Amino acid sequence: MNRPQGESSNPRVGIFGWGVIAPGCDSVETFREKLYSGGTWLEKFEDFGPSNFLVGEPDFDFEKYHSWIDDRFPPNRFGQLQSKMGTPTLMAVGSFIQALEQNPGIEKTLQDLGNAAHVYVGTGLGDLPTISEVALTADRAQSRWDEYWASPENCAARAAFDAGDADPETLEGMPEDPEKVAPEAREDARRVWNRYWAEKSARLAEYLQHSREIEGESILGEVESNKAAVIRGKMKKSAQLRKDWGVPLEPWNAVSPNLLWNIHSSVATQITMMGQITGPSFSPVAACSTFGVALKLGMDAIARGEAEAVVVGAADPPPHPMVVGAFNAARVLSNDGEVSKPLTGLRGTHISGGSCIWIIGDLDKMQARGFKPLGMEPVGVGLTSDADHIITPSEEGPTASIHSALEAASAEASAVSTWDLHCTATPGDYLEVENARKLFPDHIMMTARKGTFGHGMGVCGGWELTAQMLAGESGEIAPTALGEEELNPTIQEVHRNFTGHESVPLPKGLSGKLSMGVGGINACVICRPFD
């Protein structure tokens, strides 16, 4: 049975706090200012050296939150966070602190709610900079380690081989001498060569036996009082063993524990720690649809009566060579030194990073507590999977997510007046506009913002939704980087009503936003202005 427009048996949901870190933006206030000033926020990517890639570098300095943290935690907490946590988590924490400041008193409410306050903050990419740094450090340590033990001084089998006296059994499976391979393959060949001889080092076997004896020491007696002393003792003895033998740092000791502190769940768990929120936490990973998935989880928890308030959002790292390189290899990035805008030349998108955090809650209950809702009211989220192709979206999957969101909102497609596209300045833009035009009225106003701030992976949906919410507050849709004269002629034949260089009045009706993630994950969000 269809419910009347905009009515639902579920509790209504409002947004009671938001925080943004985005290209050139260190707060939701600067985000608002830059949105309404128009233009593009992209800049040259320097990590490859001079290059033609443009990216969106977040404006972020964790020092901005130093005093807030010092007011609530021991003096060493800020330094611990700075040294141990990666940028995505720190940006998520920063955006969360911003969100708390939108409604004074909400911080204590989240604490007092206990199990009725949840945290669903995810990531599209995870902390790739930390992963990359740890991986490179470990790889370099392994290379030095193998080279050391493969030397004739530390490997008798290698010394015998160099002298021409090698036991034939020693040579079984011996790789090709790196000096005899092509120059471009020599580095990899040398690593294989060193690993081969290191494994034959009797001195290494002896060293490892000494190491086993140290690490084999057990914690005896009272555990709590003895564990720290045993661990410190092992570390001291291992360091002395290394010094006595004159060996390089073992590769297993070269790996930073920061790798563990920055797994995908850290963006949510650190917010629970900073906010002292004790309800359930979870980090959804849904590629470019992560923010929409987090919002859906939060709204569902409120609808079920399990939560009164939920921190939702996403964070992704600043542009990183691994990400830029991978997306370029997939042929979905622009690499000509110019801004590539959706709906124009379809030359590919630009990588960005940052965070976006919302605090949502049961509208009636939160208002009764004295908190003022922000922006517009989210009324429905639809999630689907294409189950088809890793990159190319289907027609059916995104369309199904739109229908699902409309159903959740008890709304008809004809009630939607503004629509934010996922458009990534790739050939998929045409299909997305065509699909939208099959569903929505001729006059619908469409926006596409990745020409403004680039593609922020999981967080991008949050930025785009926040832009919609700010339009609900101001009554004006912020401009985009798109010029009417730049519109792709084929897309023009399908639809011409796009927001360009000038702000336009927000039409009456519902606002919608579609995100389409790698792997075919779709999230559609429907919102309505407050009366």
What distance in Å separates the CA atoms of residue 174 and residue 156, rounded to the nearest whole number? 15
What are the Cα distances from residue 145, in Å, to 16, 39, 367, 459? 54, 51, 62, 40
Model confidence at 3: pLDDT above 60: no
What distance in Å separates the CA atoms of residue 458 and residue 287, rounded to the nearest whole number? 5
Average pLDDT value for residue range 482-510:
95
Amino acid at position 504, single letter? V
Judge contact between 402 and 438, C-beta under 8 A: no
Average pLDDT value for residue range 15-40:
97
Question: What CATH number does domain 13-127+262-528 carry, 3.40.47.10, 3.40.50.150, 3.40.250.10, 3.40.50.261?
Answer: 3.40.47.10
In this structure, what token pair is assigned to residue 153? 């001084």
Model confidence at 152: pLDDT above 80: yes
Average pLDDT value for residue range 454-469:
97
C-beta atoms surrounding 42 within 10 Å: 26
250 Cβ neighbours under 8 A, 6+ residues apart:
141, 145, 211, 242
Instruction: Provide the angle, in degrees to the nearest 10, between the axes of the packed helices 202-215 and 223-245.
Output: 160
Average pLDDT value for residue range 133-157:
97
Average pLDDT value for residue range 56-78:
98
Judge contact between 518 and 351, C-beta under 8 A: no
Strand partners, 502: none
Strands 309-316 and 476-477: unpaired
pLDDT, position 9: 67
pLDDT, position 26: 97
Model confidence at 223: pLDDT above 80: no
Domain segments of the chain as ranges: 13-127+262-528, 131-253
pLDDT tier, 154 (very low <50, low <70, confident <90, very high otherwise): very high
Phi, psi of 286 (to 5 degrees): -140, 40
Which among 454, 422, 387, 456 has a CA at the least distance from the CA of 125? 456
In this structure, what token pair is assigned to residue 310? 């939920």
105 Cβ neighbours under 8 A, 6+ residues apart:
369, 370, 371
- pLDDT > 70: percent of the chain: 98
Instruction: Give the angle 355-358-362 at the CA atoms, nearest 5°.
Output: 165
Model confidence at 396: pLDDT above 50: yes
Asked which of 171-180, 223-232, 336-345, 388-397 is least confident by mean pLDDT, the reply is 223-232
pTM: 0.94
Which tops the pLDDT comparison, 6 or 125? Answer: 125
pLDDT tier, 4 (very low <50, low <70, confident <90, very high otherwise): very low
pLDDT, position 6: 45
Asked which of 25-29, 132-136, 166-170, 393-397 is least confident by mean pLDDT, the reply is 166-170
